[in-house]
Every structure is written in C-alpha cells, then in structure tokens.
Amino acid sequence: MDVASIRLSVFIVVLCICALVEALKPKRPLTQPKGFRWLNNLSLTGFNSVILVITMPLLAVEAALWAEQNQIGLLYWLSVPLPIATALAVIALDCAIYWQHRLFHRIPMLWSLHKVHHADQDIDVTTGARFHPIEIWLSMWIKIGLVFALGVPPVAVIIFEIVLNASAMFNHSNMRLPLSLDRVLRKWLVTPDMHRVHHSTIRQETDSNYGFCLSIWDRMFQSYIDQPKLGHQNMNIGIGVFRKPQEQRIDKMLTQPFRKN
C-alpha cells in the first residue's frame, strides 16, 4: 500500500469507530441536521485533498524523501539515529502544529480562514476534518518548511500525519468518555472534553486548548482551560457569525473568510 492508501484507510477506520461511539454514547444532543453537516463537512475534506494534489509541487512526505536523499536538516546534520530522530521529529511537529494553531487564532487574516472550522455549530468527528482549503494549503507549506529545517525522516512524516488526522477526529468527536478515563488520558492526550472547550462561543475559551495530539503544550505554554464555564451540556458551540443553517453548505464555507456575515 502507498502512503495515500494508508492514510485513507486509517481515516475511514477512525471515522467509523468515532461515529459509532458517538451514536452509542453521545456527549451532547446535536442541534443541526447530522446528515446535512456530514455531507458538507466531508465534501469539503475531499475538495481539500484534490486542491492539494493539483496545486502543490510536492507534499510533506515527498519533501522528507528529498531531505533524506540530500541529508538536509538539523537531525541529519547531527547524525541522530533513525529511531530517536523519528520520535523527536514527531514530538517537534506536534509542538509546531500547536503554535501554528495558536497563530491562526491571533493573526486576523489567518483567523478569517480558521473560523470556517469554528463556524460548525455542532462538534463531532467530521468537525476534525473541516478546514478551509487555503488554511490546508498554508499548513502544508509550513509542514514542508519544518521538514527541511529539522531533517524530518519520511517515516516520521507518515506517522505524524496519520496520528494528527486520527487525533483530530477523536478529540472533535461527540463521544461521552467516563470522567475517570478522561482525567487519565488528558494528562498526555487531548480528549474530546478537553478540546470541546476550544469550540465555545466564549472567546477566552476559544483561545485555549490549542493542542491536537499531546496535551502537554497547552499546560506548558499556559493556554489550558480544564472545563467550559457553562459546562459541556450548556455551552454554545461555534462563533458569533455564520449561524444560519445554510452557512453549513460547502459553498458558504468556502466564502466565509471573505464575508463578515
């Protein structure tokens, strides 16, 4: 199997598992028609994949292969053994995604792109794949830059991209985890209850809990909020604009960065 097939297979498996758990043990009642949201969120995901293939001269894995062949990047220059380099690279990339996410909240032009993700008025497994194509495109260039700078091994890129996609679907899912399990997991990993705070309409909560996989970055960089102010059942999801039902259509999502309402 090639890398694309592996990623797609993992995506489908994690999507189905999270969707099943959501259906059996939901955390919150959904406020929007589920089928309509899923159709448009997943259509946007597919559209983004096509855009990347068409517009990018190379993707992160190809950049890593080139860096490996030419021994470009810090880990190659330091001759770090492959197992250690892989572990360090995956952790470093996760930290970089934390800061990328934080910058997309802080810089107005980037927030205009990222708010497409936050405009979802429910949060479930498909929200984890709902991003504007320009944000996905910029994110790929950032990842490629990190691959060249750090000398990220190809296997580390593959592991990271699979873990990132799986983590995003898991921590956006509407599943009800036992509180005791959540407390244990969130010491290291971002859980659905932890990340749900990030999708609150209260801006202080929106600007918190930026992590996607490891939860340590939010604690380390003081952006961690344990629970939403109004509680998980009473909190409002989304942002103040784009709250009409039609704003969940893919054509509306694509134009949201360029509109104020």
- Picking from 67, 128, 75, 83, the residue whose alpha carbon sits closest to that of residue 101 is 128
Q: What pLDDT is recorded for position 7?
A: 86
- Picking from 209, 188, 138, 129, the residue whose alpha carbon sits closest to that of residue 164 is 129
Q: What pLDDT is recorded for position 210?
A: 98
Question: Using N-to-C axis directions, what is the helix angle for 60-70 and 133-150, rounded to 10°?
Answer: 10
H helices of 31-81, in order, are 34-55, 60-70, 74-77
Q: What pLDDT is recorded for position 1?
A: 54
Q: What pLDDT is recorded for position 261?
A: 82
pLDDT < 50 stretches in the chain: none
Task: Supply 170's token pair.
Answer: 């898991």
Q: What pLDDT is recorded for position 8?
A: 87
Q: What pLDDT is recorded for position 202?
A: 96
